[in-house]
Amino acid sequence: MMQKWLFPRLLLAIASIMLFLAAFSAPVSALVLTDTGQQKCYDNGGVIISCPLPDAPFAQDGSYTGNPRAFLNNGDGSITDINTGLSWQQQDNGLKYNWYQAAGIFHSGYNSSSTNVCAALTTGGFTDWRLPSKKELLTISDYGNTPSLDPLYFPNLKSYYWTSTGYAADTTQALLVYADAGSPMNLPKNYSLGASVRCVRGEPLVFGDYVDNTDGTVIDRATGLTWQKGESSLLHWDQALDYCEGLILAGAADWRLPNLREMETILDDSRSMPSLNTNFFSGPYGYIYWTSTTYAPGNYFQYAWDLAMLNGNYQGGGKSLNTQAAKCVRGGLLRKLSVTEPVGGTITSEDGAVDCPTACNATYGEGTAAILNALASPGYVFRGWGGDCTGSGACLLNMSADKSVSAVFEADADGDGYPVSQDCDDLNAAVHPGAPEIKGDGIDQDCNGYDLTIAITKATYSRSKKTLTVEATSALRSAASLYLVGYKPMTWVAFKSSRWTATVTGVTMNPGSVTVSGVEGNVSAPTIVIK
């Protein structure tokens, strides 16, 4: 593959523009994919290192920021996952069951009484509890810690939990999740020792809503991730990391090796040999695929999680020992929006994530849109945006990168919409730029520097010269805007302080009188009889 540093910059610029425009028309992901929880980085030998920057060589799981896991204790024996919207049974009932009993499937030999563990649950006053799928149960795992479930929210953890997902490679078996590691495994459905059950309620999660982009990539509209349709040759882990970081495909250069949670999303649990949707992903279907997530259970940091595509199982592969394939991914990352705390107003986002000064920071999926609005507090007026927002209207941001925004609010004591820097009297709402001027009242209502008065001192007509000459006095200084009513605009010439004269030529007869008007003070325009 062509490497980044050899790729023509012009093509990258064009691709960036296309991706920016596409961000506002692409289907919105319904599933919020969370971070794995792994924040440290490791070398091939398992030694902790400083995390490389995203898109840099050897960038791995800990280099990238994903959506943080967030749980809410409902206080009724259930826990809500804020990201997926699913509610979970906080503690299992301490009993063990075979799969038929856990799933509520009648079997004459193993569940003749039609036991249905979750359907019988009434925790929180709800009766719509069900057995979770494998993918759903894995969403609450944390791959940066052992055990993989947070005991603060899920105490008294057991080792194995049934899922509703069958094992595609052998229909007599079903999938469980090993809670210590957060990894799936398969056991016979009639497993005599049994396993625990943790029930869930809520709309089932959907994965694998694929569209072939016909450019060597596939987008999963359920997660917002874009995948390499093909794959690499067999590589060591560090080579797989660099392969994806250096990949140029479909005009994009921000590919990365997927983390364990991302890789799980394209495993098709209804298939085996391979456990991939072959309608969208092309071969040769490497037996095992690397992930960018280091294997934390047992502190085996010299291993990385990999996924066996023949049957969809997880395992730890030696970073320097094993050679496996890489399938690269892009998108689905989080970008930070930082808003400077305003004085004199509030800044809010239309999705409710920002409500500053109370909540001034938010995270958004890479390439998604954030719309910000500024609202002035009483006694202030909004003057405009700063940072990554410009202008004075609603601010539309494409969160293709981290963004920072500020807003300027200025004092407006009289509430007339003009700040003190523009208002010549900020304690009088009738005085501001553009206000109607009241002639001769001693108040400069429109803030142009004077209160206009007009007085015609003399008007003469010369029959021989066919000219009309008018002299007037006014408070106008250097910029005279007087004009003679009924005549085209003319230039007034100041011949003494506050005294002006104008001459109209081509006047064939004495008009008898003339009226002088100006830009303000036109309530009663002065008229004089011509001599």
- Give dist(CA 251, CA 184) in Å, integer: 36
The single residue listed with the structure tokens 């998108």 is 331
pLDDT at 65: 86
CATH number of 454-529: 2.60.40
| Residues whose CB is less than 8 angstroms from the CB of residue 365 and which lie 6 or more positions away in sequence, other chains included | 29, 32, 67, 224, 332, 333, 334, 335, 399
Q: What is the pLDDT of residue 19?
A: 37
Placement of tokens 């002006």 in the chain: 500
Does the pLDDT of residue 30 top 70, yes or no?
Answer: no
User: For position 289, what pLDDT does the model report?
Assistant: 94
pLDDT of 236 over the 50 cut:
yes
Contact assessment for residue 29 and residue 221, using Cβ atoms and an 8 Å cutoff: yes
Give the whole-angstrom CA distance, residue 313 versus residue 275.
9
User: Do the bridges between strand 303-308 and strand 200-201 make them parallel or antiparallel, or are there none, so unpaired?
Assistant: unpaired
- Burial per residue of 84-106, b for 16 or more beta-carbon CB atoms within 10 angstroms, e otherwise: bebbbbbbbeeebbbbbbbbbbe
Q: Are 408 and 383 in contact (CB under 8 A)?
A: yes
Q: State the average pLDDT for the chain.
A: 86
Residue 1 binned pLDDT confidence (cut-offs 50, 70, 90): very low
Q: If residue 241 lies in a helix (H) or strand (E), which one and from where to where?
A: helix 237-245
| Model pLDDT for residues 353-395, shown as the tens digit of each residue | 899 999 999 877 777 789 999 999 999 999 999 999 999 999 9
pLDDT of residue 423: 87
CA–CA gap between residue 431 and residue 445 (Å, rounded): 4
C-alpha span between 513 and 528 (Å, rounded):
5
Residue 519 has pLDDT above 70, yes or no: no
**What DSSP letter does each residue of 61-99 carry, written as one string?**
GGGS--BPP-EEE-SSSEEEETTT--EEESS--S--B-H
Give the least confident one: 28-42, 57-71, 387-401.
28-42
pLDDT of residue 292: 98
% of the chain surpassing 70 pLDDT: 85
pLDDT at 452: 63
Query: Confidence class of residue 498 from pLDDT cuts 50, 70 and 90?
Result: low
Two structure tokens written together for 73: 């204790």
DSSP assignment of 349-377 equals: ETTSS-EETTB-EEEEETT-EEEEEEEEP
The confidence score (pLDDT) of residue 482 equals: 62
pLDDT in tens, 147-170: 999 999 999 999 999 999 999 999
SS3 content of the chain, % helix, strand, coil (to 5): 10, 30, 60
Contacts 24+ apart (CB under 8 A), 187-191: 187/99, 187/160, 189/98, 189/99, 189/100, 189/110, 190/98, 190/99, 190/100, 190/107, 190/109, 190/110, 191/98, 191/99
Task: Please report where in the chains the tokens 């399938």 appear, as a residue.
Answer: 327
Taking the model in full, what pTM does it have?
Answer: 0.64
Residues contacting 440, CB < 8 A, separation 6+: 451, 452, 453, 521
Fold of 85-204: Mannose-Binding Protein A; Chain A (3.10.100)
Is the peptide bond between 284 and the residue preceding it cis, with omega within 30 degrees of 0?
Answer: yes
Percentage of the chain beyond pLDDT 90 is 59
The pLDDT, as a whole number, for residue 131 is 98
Least confident window among 314-323, 351-360, 451-460, 517-526:
517-526
313 neighbors 186 (Cβ within 8 angstroms):
yes
Q: Which two tokens stand for residue 213?
A: 């982009």
Mean pLDDT for the stretch of residues 334-344: 89
Alpha helices, DSSP H, located in 24-154: 99-103, 134-138
Rounded CA separation 320/301 (Å)? 12
Architecture (CATH level 2) of domain 4-31+40-46+207-330: Roll (3.10)
- With beta carbons less than 8 A apart as the criterion, state whether 501 and 471 touch: yes
Read off the pLDDT of each residue in 337-359 and give the average, rounded to a whole number: 94
pLDDT at 175 over 60: yes
Q: Is residue 237 left, alpha or beta, with left meaning phi > 0 and alpha meaning psi from -120 to 50?
A: alpha
Q: Which of 166-175, 302-311, 360-369, 481-490 has the lowest mean pLDDT?
A: 481-490
Identify whether the C-beta of residue 100 lies closer than 8 Å to the C-beta of residue 189: yes
pLDDT of residue 156: 94
Residue ranges covered by each domain of the chain = 4-31+40-46+207-330, 85-204, 334-411, 454-529
Of the pLDDT bands very low, low, confident and very high (cuts 50, 70, 90), residue 439 is: low
Q: What is the per-residue pLDDT for 502?
A: 80
Quick one: pLDDT band at residue 424, thresholds 50, 70, 90? confident
> Alpha carbon of 199 to those of 98, 114, 295, 427: distances in Å?
15, 17, 27, 64
Do domains 4-31+40-46+207-330 and 85-204 share one topology? The answer is yes
> Within 10 Å of residue 23's Cβ, how many Cβ atoms?
17
**Token couple for 299:** 């502190």
Is residue 75 scored above 60 in pLDDT?
A: yes
Top pLDDT among 510 and 480 is at 510
How buried is residue 311: exposed, middle or buried, by Cβ count under 10 Å (0-12/13-18/19+)?
middle
Q: Which is it for strands 380-387 and 355-356: parallel, antiparallel or unpaired?
A: unpaired
Average pLDDT over residues 75-85: 94
Average pLDDT of the segment spanning 311-320 = 90
